[in-house]
């Protein structure tokens, strides 16, 4: 029979108090997310709608512009445009490939105008075919097509030179019967301002979130107004279209720029109000969430849409308060299930020791809550089977920690290198201490990989705090004590330390970076605070 040892009472008390504080802090944060946030109501004049929104149809599972065999069925386009016609007067396209040349004809039926785009990239042969199809489509639908946009951020991506873009624009203007423009971020327009002589109007992208120095939502609209004024002055005599502006609702925070549903709603409402008040022509990015963009831009890339990718319903209203979270039912349910499982395992066949049971109940509740929050994140962030398998496996290990602890009797937890071979030499049930040692080693290794990847390539990677918060909460309390770290585990801990500190230093005020720093330090420092086992150094 497993018996809780008397000398473990201080540990159970530490576990109880620490996990109770974490549990309370997380629920306070979640409750804060449910509060309604008042913001500017967007009351458009009767019959007035958004000027234009970027439209890409790749929002259904498996759809991506990288699938050369994909052709979007007209029925899908018709359903998308019918939903969009309720909120906008126009859609912007970036290509006419994969069935998108059907859009102008379908848009006519629902009363939408089209900013038609021709995608220009590295492949000259594809560029020629794309531009020819776009010109033919525009000329066949001059009553619907507002303009032809020859290329999108081509100079930013360095896929064509300024002289090459000039030649393509001139060729298009000589053949097409609608106005012609080119679209790029505002800095590249001002660097290559001679192109303004070739276009009928200038199309600039102003995205506060993606600026080299990210802009806080509090200052985002002032930033846009300043850039729009500067661009207008720079290109005096030319009309200016803000070809892209918007804010993401999910993903990694960039310094002061935080993606959120509330911030997205606030940005769209205040920008549209300002644009209509000042008479700006604009296009919002974007109409519908694009999950495929997560492959290029991380989680944040998939969630710039005003409509949900699955239901095509608005993600936020245009008037009234907006909250980040609808309620707390799922987190409360996860916490309750986690606590119940931990209590059942803690009392099964063991003496009733209330301090131990209370600590394990709180730990189980914390594990259940974090598991629900991680599932919510995984459902928007994980992109393929590999991520679901690897990161999902880490999440399962982390969530199982309180349950394994419920069968732990206080024996020393060996390093993973010792625990692994001994598992197979022990008949019967696997001792919980050894299982904890193996889990600790695996989680340290996984966290080290995550920390180093985020350190060297941070722009499009989410902070994996939720994955490693439970391991940090458990092993940060248990420490190593009489259970010294092996060399491999100390190396992993050192990698975690370097990774989290190195990631935090460039953005010290970012709450997500701070959370990752604290999680990593709590997980790594106990392994670095004691000398290695003497046997390990022989």
Predicted confidence band of residue 125 (pLDDT cuts 50, 70, 90): very high
DSSP letter string, 96-162:
STTTGGGHHHHHHHHT-EEEEEE---S-HHHHHHHHHHHHHHHHHTTTTEEEEEEEESHHHHTSS-H
- pLDDT (average), residues 124-138: 96
- Burial (CB count within 10 angstroms: exposed 0-12, middle 13-18, buried 19+), residue 296: exposed
Q: Considering the domain 53-302 in this protein, what is its CATH number?
A: 3.20.20.80
Q: Which pLDDT does position 10 carry in this prediction? A: 84
- Express as a percent the part of the chain with pLDDT over 90: 77
User: Could you tell me the sign of the dihedral formed by the alpha carbons of 294, 203, 123, 105, in that order?
Assistant: positive
Q: Which pLDDT does position 153 carry in this prediction? A: 95
Q: Which pLDDT does position 1 carry in this prediction? A: 36
- pLDDT (average), residues 104-120: 96
Q: Which pLDDT does position 431 carry in this prediction? A: 81
165-218: per-residue pLDDT in tens? 999 999 999 999 999 999 999 999 999 999 999 999 999 999 999 998 899 999
- What Cα–Cα distance (Å) separates residue 452 from each residue in 306, 437, 489? 34, 23, 15
- pLDDT (average), residues 517-529: 92
Specify the range with the lowest mean pLDDT, choosing from 20-29, 237-246, 342-351.
342-351
484 against 536, higher pLDDT: 484
Q: Which pLDDT does position 420 carry in this prediction? A: 66
Q: Which pLDDT does position 131 carry in this prediction? A: 96
Mean pLDDT score across all residues of the chain:
90
Predicted confidence band of residue 5 (pLDDT cuts 50, 70, 90): very low
283 phi, psi to nearest 5 deg: -140, 125
Predicted confidence band of residue 462 (pLDDT cuts 50, 70, 90): very high
As annotated, the residues of the chain forming the CATH 3.20.20.80 domain(s) are 53-302
Both tokens assigned to 356: 């131990």
295-319: per-residue pLDDT in tens? 999 999 999 999 998 888 899 988 8
- Express as a percent the part of the chain with pLDDT over 70: 93
* H or E element in which residue 184 lies: strand 180-185
- pLDDT (average), residues 143-169: 96
**pLDDT beyond 50 at 532:** no
- What Cα–Cα distance (Å) separates residue 172 from each residue in 95, 183, 260, 291? 15, 15, 40, 32
31-87: per-residue pLDDT in tens? 999 999 999 888 776 667 899 999 999 999 889 999 989 999 999 999 999 999 998
d(CA 102, CA 99): 6
- pLDDT (average), residues 389-410: 92
d(CA 243, CA 223): 16
Q: Which pLDDT does position 46 carry in this prediction? A: 63
Q: Which pLDDT does position 260 carry in this prediction? A: 95
Predicted confidence band of residue 484 (pLDDT cuts 50, 70, 90): low
Q: Which pLDDT does position 422 carry in this prediction? A: 62
3-state SS assignment for residue 50: strand
Predicted confidence band of residue 536 (pLDDT cuts 50, 70, 90): very low
Q: Which pLDDT does position 533 carry in this prediction? A: 42
């Amino acid at each position: 029979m497993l018996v809780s040892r008397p000398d473990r009472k201080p540990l159970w008390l530490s576990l109880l108090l620490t996990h109770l504080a974490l549990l309370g802090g997380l629920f306070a944060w979640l409750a804060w997310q449910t509060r309604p946030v008042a913001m500017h109501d967007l009351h458009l004049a009767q019959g007035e709608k958004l000027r234009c929104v970027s439209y890409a149809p790749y929002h259904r599972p498996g759809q991506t512009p990288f699938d050369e065999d994909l052709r979007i069925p007209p029925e899908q386009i018709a359903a998308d445009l019918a939903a969009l016609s309720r909120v906008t007067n126009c859609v912007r396209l970036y290509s006419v490939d994969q069935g998108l040349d059907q859009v102008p004809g379908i848009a006519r039926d629902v009363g939408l105008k089209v900013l038609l785009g021709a995608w220009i990239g590295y492949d000259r042969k594809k560029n020629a075919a794309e531009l020819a199809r776009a010109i033919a489509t525009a000329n066949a639908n001059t009553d619907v097509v507002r303009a032809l946009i020859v290329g999108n951020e081509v100079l930013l991506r360095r896929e064509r030179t300024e002289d090459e873009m000039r030649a393509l624009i001139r060729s298009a203007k000589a053949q097409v019967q609608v106005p012609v423009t080119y679209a790029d971020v505002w800095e590249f327009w001002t660097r290559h301002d001679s192109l303004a002589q070739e276009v009928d109007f200038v199309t600039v992208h102003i995205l506060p979130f993606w600026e080299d120095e990210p802009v806080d939502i509090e200052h985002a609209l002032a930033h846009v107004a300043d850039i729009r004024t500067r661009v207008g002055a720079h290109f005096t005599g030319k009309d200016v279209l803000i070809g892209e502006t918007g804010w993401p609702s999910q993903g990694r925070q960039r310094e002061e720029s935080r993606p959120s549903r509330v911030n997205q709603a606030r940005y769209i409402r205040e920008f549209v109000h300002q644009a209509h008040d000042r008479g700006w022509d604009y296009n919002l990015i974007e109409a519908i969430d694009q999950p495929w963009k997560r492959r290029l831009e991380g989680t944040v890339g998939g969630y710039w849409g005003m409509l949900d990718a699955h239901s095509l319903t608005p993600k936020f209203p245009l008037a009234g308060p907006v909250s980040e979270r609808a309620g707390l039912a799922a987190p409360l349910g996860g916490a309750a299930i986690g606590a119940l499982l931990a209590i059942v395992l803690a009392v099964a066949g063991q003496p009733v020791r209330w301090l131990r049971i209370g600590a394990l109940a709180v730990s189980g509740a914390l594990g259940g809550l974090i598991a629900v929050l991680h599932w919510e994140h995984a459902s928007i962030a994980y992109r393929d089977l590999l991520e679901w398998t690897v990161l999902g496996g880490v999440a399962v290990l982390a969530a199982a920690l309180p349950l394994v602890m419920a069968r732990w009797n206080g024996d020393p937890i060996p390093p993973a290198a010792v625990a692994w071979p001994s598992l197979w030499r022990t008949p019967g049930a696997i001792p919980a201490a050894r299982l904890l040692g193996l889990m600790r080693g695996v989680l340290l290794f996984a966290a080290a990989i995550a920390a180093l990847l985020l350190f060297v390539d941070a722009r499009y990677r989410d902070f994996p705090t939720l994955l490693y918060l439970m391991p940090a909460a458990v092993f940060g309390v248990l420490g190593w004590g009489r259970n010294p770290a092996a060399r491999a585990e100390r190396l992993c801990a050192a990698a975690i330390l370097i990774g989290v500190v190195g990631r935090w230093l460039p953005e010290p005020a970012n709450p997500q970076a701070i959370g990752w720093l604290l999680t990593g330090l709590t997980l790594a420092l106990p392994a670095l605070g004691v000398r290695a086992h003497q046997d390990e150094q022989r």
